[in-house]
Amino acid sequence: MPGLRLGPLLRYADGSSATVWVETSRPCTAEVRCADGAGGETHTFQIEGHHYALVPVTGLTPGTSQPYEVFLDGTRVWPLPDTAFPPSVISTPAEDPDIRIAFGSCRWASPAADEHDPVGPDALDTLATRIATAPEGERPDALLLLGDQVYADETSPATRKWLAARRDLSDPPGSQVADYEEYTHLYYESWLDAEVRWLLSTVPSCMIFDDHDVIDDWNTSAAWLEDMRTTGWWQQRLLSGLMSYWVYQHLGNLSPAELAADPLYAAVRAAPDGTDALRAFAAGADADSASVRWSYRRDFGRVRLVMVDSRAARVLDEQNRSMLDAGEAEWVREQALDTPESYDHLLIGTSLPWLLPHLVHDAEAWNAALCRGDKGARWARFGEKLRRGADLEHWAAFPASFTALADLIAEVGSGPDAPATVLVLSGDVHHAYVAEPKWRADGPDAVVLQLTCSPVHNSIPLSIRLGFRFGWSAVARALGRRFAWHAGGPRPPVSWRRTGGPWFGNQLMTLTLRGRSARLRLEQAQSVRGRSPRLVTVTESELAR
């Protein structure tokens, strides 16, 4: 009898359809049955000896919330026996609904319940507990996970022990993951957490990778990539990372129509074993990043999300350096400008913040000029060493891309069809803040903000706290101007100010979008003596009325 190894994950959901992802113990037919008779079924596909299904659910009624069950070859496997959690549900929006979207990034897997958690309570665990104890209360309509869903290069003690039983950790890549099987272990460790497993079964999720899903500073520069390709383990690691991302995260980002039109998905499902097809796809993505699109768009009523791949789509040639290749940049532009009258809020999801503390921004732009060779070969060598050591590879490190995004936002946010807000949602930097840009000329009419929220569950060393607090200071801003002067490049088209934060802790931001109004809440997971951890509101504010 087949068993449920991982999942279910409720991924896509609109007014009448949804997708539910599962991993099973062997080939079978996976079926989802809803209380109102809606449902769907599909046969599993195989990758590297593992079996998966993305079940299309149809026949849903808009504006309803239906409990569902999962069956494998006719036997019910979800809900789990004796579960303490309420039934998992598929909620479908009504016309012009209020939309509530929670987001964050950077999550280490939570330790076992009987183990000490060195970084404090997990914000996703705590959100799950709150929803489960008050199932009729507030819950997100979607959960955006903005990168570092797993840490391939920073494994837990339990995973290191598992790896050591599998291979010799004195051989590269040591205690980091090496292949597809080891990636599956990371997802089990992270998503079999009881609270997170239930949360992802009942709240639709959208995901995008960041560097730690593969390795720290992934694609930071052409020189970095050249060095990685000389190692004996990098190719296997990268292909395994892309393959597992496609299976565990990317497929669920797509709508049923997009899945039906995806030739790779069709090929994998049609083959007795889809491993070769998926590996060839990953190898093609490595050889030519422009041949693959990991970015995607989701519309939630009158809220549009454009999720941008700011890792794999990079152009790394120093003389043509860009966060997005030409095709990717044009795709983002098309999605933002497509029927602007049909949405009231544009959310641009990018794992890396567009607007950073001023000192960090100026240092990254200065470093980009050095690495480009503007100050000579000696400065360029110094710049590359500094770039890797200090992680100088955000949007500011790609000045032309930074300006292009500013120009696109100004265009989208101007004119009679402009949305009420254009909000850039990001993570990565292990603190939360709100920054507001101001255009030097021809600024948009919409409210434009950078909303950064990180981490969901990770460490925040004192050095990071002090560094980012200083980075936002007036002294740091003056120091940054010295970097900008030495770089000698043009000024960016926007200036900006921090209007909230910095906040440190395991945290989530939630946007509530109602008509043309927008409200933001930041909550942190905090321990309470003698009780379960809870989410505590740190700040709440109106972004647009």
Mean pLDDT for the chain overall: 95
Closest CA to 140 of 104, 102, 105, 103: 102
- Contact between 403 and 489 (Cβ < 8 Å): no
On whether both 88 and 100 belong to a single domain, the answer is no
Q: Tell me how far apart the alpha carbons of residues 357 and 464 are, in angstroms, rounded to a whole number.
A: 12
Helix (H, G, I), strand (E, B) or coil at 492: coil
- Position 345 scores a pLDDT of 98
On whether both 440 and 319 belong to a single domain, the answer is yes
On whether both 277 and 330 belong to a single domain, the answer is no
Query: Residue 77 above 80 pLDDT?
Result: yes
Instruction: Give the mean model confidence (pLDDT) for residues 507-523.
Output: 97
Q: Where are the alpha helices (DSSP H) in 233-313?
A: 234-245, 251-253, 256-260, 263-270, 275-287
On whether both 257 and 137 belong to a single domain, the answer is no
Range of the domain at 526: 96-147+294-544
Instruction: Give the mean model confidence (pLDDT) for residues 67-91.
Output: 96
Q: Could you tell me if residue 435 is inside a domain?
A: yes
Interval 244-296: pLDDT, tens: 999 999 999 999 999 999 999 999 999 999 999 999 999 999 999 999 999 99
- Choose the final residue of a domain: 268, 289, 310: 289
531 pLDDT band, cuts 50/70/90, is confident
On whether both 426 and 510 belong to a single domain, the answer is yes
- Position 442 scores a pLDDT of 84
On whether both 284 and 312 belong to a single domain, the answer is no
Q: Indicate yes or no: pTM above 0.85.
A: yes
Q: Could you tell me if residue 158 is inside a domain?
A: no
Interval 354-388: pLDDT, tens: 999 999 999 999 999 999 999 999 999 999 999 99
On whether both 332 and 366 belong to a single domain, the answer is yes
Q: Could you tell me if residue 155 is inside a domain?
A: no
On whether both 505 and 414 belong to a single domain, the answer is yes
Q: Could you tell me if residue 152 is inside a domain?
A: no
* Total of domains in the chain: 2
Structural tokens at position 38: 């809606």
Instruction: Give the mean model confidence (pLDDT) for residues 23-29.
Output: 98
- Choose the final residue of a domain: 235, 257, 289: 289
529 pLDDT band, cuts 50/70/90, is confident
- Position 35 scores a pLDDT of 87
On whether both 375 and 447 belong to a single domain, the answer is yes
- Choose the final residue of a domain: 231, 265, 289: 289
On whether both 496 and 414 belong to a single domain, the answer is yes
Phi, psi (degrees; rounded to nearest 5) at 271: -85, 150
Closest CA to 295 of 263, 265, 266, 323: 323
Q: What's the CA angle centered on 385, arms 383 and 386, to 5 degrees?
A: 65
In CATH, what number is assigned to the domain containing residue 440? Answer: 3.60.21
Query: Residue 462 above 90 pLDDT?
Result: no
Q: Could you tell me if residue 123 is inside a domain?
A: yes
The rounded percent of the chain whose pLDDT value lies above 90 is: 89
